[in-house]
Structure 1
Amino acid sequence: MLAERIGVLARELLPNGRKDGAEWRCGSLAGEKGQSFAVHLNGSRAGVWADFSSGERGDALDLVAAVLFAGDRREAMKWAVSWLGLGDGAAPTFRAPERRQVAPDRGREDLDQEAQRKRASARKLWHDTPSGIAGTPVEAYLAGRGIILRELGRAPGALRFNRSVWCAEVQRPLPAMIAAICGPSGKLVAVHRTWLGETPGGSWVKADLQNAKKVLGSFAGGCVRLWRGASGKALGVAPEGDVTVIAEGIETALSVAVACPEFRVLSAVSLSNMAAVALPDTLKDIIIAADNDSGNEKARRALEAALKKFASQGRTVRLAMPEIVHGDWNDVLRGKDTDGKPERPV
């Protein structure tokens, strides 16, 4: 029912946003002006939203929880029942809980403090998570995706396994793969979480959640440094001649690393962040390992932006895209066709 009235709801929760086609857009869940946050206003995805800067996603109820109740869906449900006029028959008028009013000249300061809080939480989660993934569910999950890290001789240090990471969607901790997202200086700025679940047969897969992957912290310009390639040097001291592959997702990037271990491989985490990834001047040869999002205009524009950005920096840029429609390089590694079935020999 919230989704049916998402046009009204989005405007009331995020009044500083603006309508952009079939979406309501603003800067983030904080509601400031911008483009990084989008809510679908109609169609089968009405109410579905995404914050492309943080990786957070959800439905209409999640939006209420995130904006008004710090992610508490129970409180969001109570509020929604009242707002929809379902509780006592009252008219569905907007009755938001009181929120601290921020003076215009202090808005940026508050946003900066929130960013610092999330970064501190991300660093704590990373440092509280044991290093190494050998023999853990993370190794088993990746192997189930066809990514056999032992073929590389070592596992990426940017990945860890934590058996108990809080998941707001189910209101309890779950096992998760944790990935370090580092900024240009090499310092950790955010973490990527992939919640995992064990099947009855004992296999480890992505948890059965609406959003099994989320980022904690702001990561614009950062990336997950997954593989150093032939030189073995850290990104900050990468030598000239290193070929660098940038992929969107972690599994896609790892698939490239397994297939082409001579290349340096980075995950941009999101397609919108790909053009912002900061690279040292020594890296002149760049390959964008794109997903084949055929017909997705936004994806096409984001790819073009990344290609133009790196080319403008004087680098040689190439685009590598799988022939599998709506597929990625992990699908190629696993030998799948457009239907997700093993490819037939020609």
Structure 2
Amino acid sequence: MLSASELADHLARDAEAVCRHYLSAGRRAGNYWIVGDVANNKGRSLYVHLSGSRAGKWTDAANGQYGDLLDLVRETCGLVDFRDVADEARHFLSLPKPERASSRRGGTPDHPPVDRPAAERARRLFGMTQPLAGTLGDSYLRQRAILRASLHPTLRFHPSCYYRDLVTGRTASYPALVAAVTDPSGTITGVHRTWLDPNGDGKAKVEDPRRALGGLLGNAVRFGFPLHELVPVMVAGEGLESILSLSHVMPTMPMVAALTANHLAAFSPPAACLRLYIAGDADAAGRQGIERLSRRAQAVGILPLVLAPELGDFNEDLRWLGPDQLTANLRAQLVPEDTMVFLPT
């Protein structure tokens, strides 16, 4: 099995091909590849040596980052564990994968094996993202009639997020909408990724374009959720886009997206909550999630109230019926005092 330094040397022998693949927004200038940064943005800050004794070495003059091509693969793909970085490099170089004994985790003298907790990996990935406004992620949500998503700090964009096919093992990178999953204190415990088609044609054409990483149980993606303040009324739902659609017409209502029906059932409302609106999807799993969360809310003295879409989910309502009709549908379901606060005329 090749060591980390040997993998880096193999990549450096064809440094320009590596740069063209992982830093496609850049260009060759003499003996250097010039690009904006490791996120593959256009610019001239980062330069990679393409030949000579320093072939494969790179530096970002804007922030002081530097490394070899193995480091570049790690950063551009948003990887954390060395095993994944090495697998990605071998895939690019068309090298066979090493045998791994079940009793031993992979590693090398240069890069000892590190099993980081999933929550730590999620926080690191979220730290590699950029603001959503004006990105392909923002455009994707606008196509779904969600026009103010960039106002939510829990939503970010990754221009080249690592993706592994869980069946074939093949790897690639796609733009991705990244949402932070947080606990009640606001600490990031996980992330949810929606990989996007680079040409703007909806989600990426892969088997499962949505995946979560980290600790979801009891936590959620939060919108308009004030930290360290009492939250007597809120909405909890399953899908990210469904909750964003409700937030579009009720921007001051605290809301959470639990991401799956099972995690919706396990969501923990804040202690001060008096009324919990549960936004359900019109399918069997969604109904079960509503019923289970309703029972848990009632057991701690919270009044559960169900919000039902007219179509399949609230994003379909927003897209096909329009915000006015969605607002009218919600006005008929909210408690009158909540209508006055969150759906004023």
Q: Normalising to structure 1: TM-score of the pair? A: 0.57
Provide the alpha-carbon RMSD of the alignment.
2.8
Gaps of at least 5 residues in structure 1 are: 1-68, 76-95, 103-112, 338-346
* Distance across 2 between alignment mates of 1:185 and 1:158: 14
Structure 2 Cα separation of the partners of residues 194 and 253 of structure 1: 15
> What is aligned with 1:262?
252
Does the Cα contact within 8 Å between 2:280 and 2:286 map onto a contact in 1?
Answer: no
Aligned-partner Cα distance in 2 for 1:179–1:101: 33
Match of 1:237 in 2: 229
How many residue pairs end up in the alignment?
218
Q: After superposition, give the CA deviation of every residue in 1:4-54 in whole Å (9 maximum; x if it has no partner).
A: xxxxxxxxxxxxxxxxxxxxxxxxxxxxxxxxxxxxxxxxxxxxxxxxxxx
Q: Is the 8 A contact 2:231 2:270 kept in 1?
A: no
Matched, 1:280 2:267: no
Q: How far has the Cα of 1:157 moved from its partner?
A: 0.3
Per the alignment, residue 183 of structure 1 pairs with 183
Please, which of 183, 186, 211 is the counterpart of residue 214 of structure 1?
Answer: 211
Q: Structure 1 residues 299, 289: closer, same or farther in 2, change over 3 A?
A: closer
Structure 2 CA distance for aligned equivalents of residues 273 and 120 of structure 1: 20
The structural deviation recorded for 1:332 is 0.5
Q: Deviations over 1:154-178 (max 9, x none)?
A: 6100000010110002512111011
Q: Residue 291 of structure 2 corresponds to which residue in structure 1?
A: 304
Q: Are 1:163 and 2:159 counterparts?
A: yes
Same amino acid, percent of matched pairs: 28
- Matches of 2:185 and 2:224, distance apart in 1: 17
Kindly provide the amino acid, as one letter, of the partner of residue 99 in structure 1.
S
> Which sections of structure 2, spanning at least 5 residues, go unmatched?
1-82, 91-98, 106-113, 323-345
Mapped pair 1:319 → 2:316: no
Within the alignment, does 1:328 sit opposite 2:316 as a pair? no
User: In structure 2, what is the equivalent of residue 145 of structure 1?
Assistant: 144
TM-superposition CA deviations, 1:261-281 (whole Å, max 9, x none): 231111011110112222222
Task: Flag as ranges the 4+ runs of structure 1 deviating above 6 A.
Answer: 69-73
Deviation by residue 1:252-297 (Cα, 9 ceiling, x = unmatched)? 110000022231111011110112222222221111111101xx2x
TM-score (ref. length: structure 2): 0.58
Contact 1:271-1:302 at 8 Å conserved across structures: yes
Q: What is the alpha-carbon distance in structure 1 between the residues aligned to residue 306 and residue 197 of structure 2?
A: 34
Instruction: Find the residue that maps to 2:151 and give its secondary structure.
Output: coil
Deviation at 1:247, TM superposition (A): 1.2
Q: Aligned with 1:262: secondary structure?
A: coil
Q: CA deviation at 1:97?
A: 7.0
- Residue identity matched to 1:333: L
Does the 8 Å contact 1:144/1:204 carry over to 2? no
Aligned residue for 1:100, secondary structure, equals coil
